[in-house]
Amino acid sequence: MDDQEIIELFRENEFKVTAQRLAICKFIISREDHPSADQIYQELKIDYPTISLGTIYKTLDLLEKLGIIQKLGFNEGSIRYDPDMELHINVVCSNCGKIYDYKAENVKKLWSDIISDLGIKPKGQRIDIYYECDDCKERN
């Protein structure tokens, strides 16, 4: 998704295009590690010194409504933002919180089987695997 596509998506949905929104949207799309609101804030503050956490949260809600990102609530109460809306598995280090995505064709087949078995119209899904990453293993 390039700048132009983002701008068009905003305009189509009658949201104004602002520097902050563009920056937040581009940032989250460029990251594969599902950052938290505060991580986004800390990094964008460098280039946009007056940006506020409130704006980050409002924009993230907007991006979720537009279907660009997915919120992921975790057990310690933290919320992370995932720009991958396709069926995938979040591989999560339960120690440091690092996340990467895993895609497997076989998941798709199984998933459609389950859906038809359940007889529901799914609105979304979330699949996590928790493990301890190599960095954390070394540290202990």
Instruction: Compute the least distance from the CB of residue 47 to a copy of itself, in Å.
Output: 28
- DSSP secondary structure code for residue 102 in this structure: E
**What whole-number distance in Å separates Cα of residue 94 and Cα of residue 89?**
15
* Interaction of residue 61 with a copy of itself, rule CB under 8 A: no
Span near DNA by CB under 7 A; candidates 33-41, 91-99, 105-113, 125-133:
33-41
- Regarding 16 and contact with DNA (CB under 7 A), the answer is yes
- Name residue, tokens 């590690």: 33
Range 41-100, binding DNA (CB under 7 A): 48, 50-55, 57-59, 61, 76-79
Give CA–CA dist 123/139, Å, rounded.
40
Q: What angle do CA 16, 22, 26 make, to 5 degrees?
A: 150
Contacting residue, 20, 36, 39, 94, with a copy of itself by CB under 8 A: 94
Q: Quote the least distance from Cβ 96 to a copy of itself, whole Å.
A: 13
Q: How many residues bind DNA (CB under 7 A)?
A: 27
Cα–Cα dist 13/5, whole Å: 12
CB 10 within 8 A of CB 16: yes
Does residue 11 interact with DNA by CB under 7 A? Answer: yes
71 binds a copy of itself (CB under 8 A): yes
